[in-house]
Amino acid sequence: MAKVFKGANVFMSRNLVPPELFDALHDALKLNGAKVFLCCDPSRNAPNDYHVISSPDHEKFEDLRSKGCNLLGPQCLLSCAKEHRLLPNQGFTCCLAMDGVNILVSGFEKDEKVEIEKLVTAMGGVLQTRASSDVSFVIVKNVLAQKYKWALNSLKKPIVTINWLHQCWKEHRVAPQESYRVLPFSGLTICVSGIPADERRQIEKLVVQNGGKYSAELTKRCTHLICQISYVFYFIHLHLILAFH
């Protein structure tokens, strides 16, 4: 079988990788034809130079990245060796958990999107900028996000919170989505007017259970007002949302 790492110069210092994985990583590199250097050399940043590092939290991470080094996480290297794949050359790859996965995000600020893209690409995934049918998951801040209704009504793919992405990062795999689905009132602040107190409590409970915030007073932060006239229609609409979400 061809040695898929042949031609790669891999720098792996014992200070940069978990000790319990060092031997397995070293064996995987040698068996697949890589030239291994048991040190850290930030000056080596050619396209075929790679540096193995435990995580972005390591004290050496930013220094290596600022010098344009190709960085690999232990899980990425072991997966490439197991699947006989070339080492990725994209700055930093933590693992291949999202290989072949296309992510669309909506409702986030520009700086938040930058951080999301770092996580997605570091796990081998692709952050898409436009809505399309090949999207695998949609991450939204709440139901007010621009692409939420399109994802819910047209795409029919999982719509999750940012916490799901963080869980994928933590587990080095595509985590189950059920616990991270976006609730139908997420991001909404709902106030009521002209409704009896006992029924208000029932509304408050429903709103909170489904991800929204209940406001006893009408303020600028309220997104919806339920009044006596629309009360019946509200409950019909609410039960329809909960039934089909």
Question: pLDDT for 171-206, tens place per residue?
Answer: 999 999 999 999 999 999 999 888 888 888 888 998
What's the pLDDT score for residue 156? 86
Candidates 144, 228, 236, 238; CA nearest to 193 is 228
Asked if residue 123 lies in contact with residue 169, where contact means CB atoms within 8 angstroms, the answer is yes
The CA distance from 123 to 102, in Å, is 11
Given a cut of 80, whether residue 2 has pLDDT beyond it is no
CA 65 – CA 96 distance, rounded (Å): 19
pLDDT score of 234 more than 80: no
As a whole-number percent, the residues of the chain with pLDDT over 70 amount to: 92
**What is the b/e burial string over 69-95, where b = at least 16 CB atoms within 10 angstroms of the residue's CB?**
bbbbbbbbbbbbbeeeeebbeeebbbb
Q: What is the pLDDT of residue 200?
A: 86
* Residue 122 binned pLDDT confidence (cut-offs 50, 70, 90): very high
Q: Is residue 163 very low, low, confident or very high in pLDDT (cuts 50, 70, 90)?
A: very high
Cα distance between residue 92 and residue 50, in whole Å: 10
